[in-house]
Amino acid sequence: MHAHEAISKAITDGRDAHGIALVAYVTAGYPSMEAFPAILNDACQHADVVEVGIPFSNPIADGGSLQETARAALAAGATMKKIMHTLRDLDGTLAAPLLLMGYLNPLLAYGLDRLAEDASSAGVRGVIVPDLPLEALDIAKPLNDAGLATIGMVSPVTSDARLARIAAHASGFVYAVTSVGVTGQHRSDQSDIVEYLKKVKATATIPVCAGFGIREKAHVDALRGACDGVIVGSALMEAVGEGRDVGSILQALR
């Protein structure tokens, strides 16, 4: 099974078992490189897929919470090299498959050929690059060639034609951004979101996960049936910042 198929399968398995799959986002190196493995391990116990965020100095799609975790992780000395080492050490011990979520520049600095090799050998199954649009996807070729999932992102303002092209190029799952804006902001009116997710579902041949602004169980429940999984990041990282237990936060969302 290719790495990207492992991601798709984890999402559909999670959906079949719980009604909706749960994807957890954790910032690598937050609150410290030492604390990160235990947090990651916990997240893997209670989520179907875990996104490991590579901290970047200028994360333009992130809201205040995730921006702050990235800043703190960098200040605490998180680097791509250290993150890959940590993941390699944990490989085989984690209960859920991993994705890397990173802005393009740190990935380019690391080298995409090197990333494809190191990520694969560290048990990473795919990547999410929020600032790599469809037109520039050829940059991700080394990752595709290694069988890694390249998660396609769409938003409520994406045209139907563009949605079809993104869905066709994506592997693993399609990441449907539920609100126009940065991460962490929740919109109270979800009715049009359900319609939008149904449209994405009808277009994609791989699973669809909804993210941005999903903070509590009610938000998750509102999306049951409309998509295959939900992605929870800001709310989880805020909890980590407050010293709360990741496992119980995720459990409460199920």
Instruction: Return the active site residues.
Output: 51, 62
The answer to the question of residue 153 lying near another protein (CB under 8 A) is yes
With CB under 8 A as the contact rule, which of the stretches 112-120, 132-140, 191-199, 246-254 interacts with another protein? 132-140
Q: How far is the CB of 158 from another protein (least distance, A)?
A: 6
* Beta carbons within 8 Å of 93's beta carbon, 6+ residues apart: 41
Instruction: Report how far Cα 44 is from the mean position of its chain's Cα atoms.
Output: 13
Distance CA 69, CA 2 (A): 32
* Beta carbons within 8 Å of 177's beta carbon, 6+ residues apart: 153, 154, 155, 156, 211, 212
The answer to the question of residue 60 lying near another protein (CB under 8 A) is yes
The answer to the question of residue 137 lying near another protein (CB under 8 A) is no
Bridge partners of 26, per DSSP, are 52
Q: Rounded to whole angstroms, what are the CA distances from 143 to 100, 105, 113, 139, 147?
A: 11, 15, 7, 9, 7
The answer to the question of residue 107 lying near another protein (CB under 8 A) is yes
Distance CA 208, CA 95 (A): 21
Closer residue to another protein in complex, CB, 95/108: 108
Q: How far is the CB of 55 from another protein (least distance, A)?
A: 8
Closer residue to another protein in complex, CB, 35/136: 136
The answer to the question of residue 203 lying near another protein (CB under 8 A) is no
| Contacting residue, 81, 114, 217, 224, with another protein by CB under 8 A | 81
* Beta carbons within 8 Å of 192's beta carbon, 6+ residues apart: 156
The answer to the question of residue 182 lying near another protein (CB under 8 A) is yes
Closer residue to another protein in complex, CB, 136/202: 136
Which residues contact another protein by CB under 8 A? 56-58, 60-61, 63-64, 67, 71, 74, 79-81, 103-110, 130-133, 135-136, 153-155, 157-159, 162, 166, 177, 180-182, 185
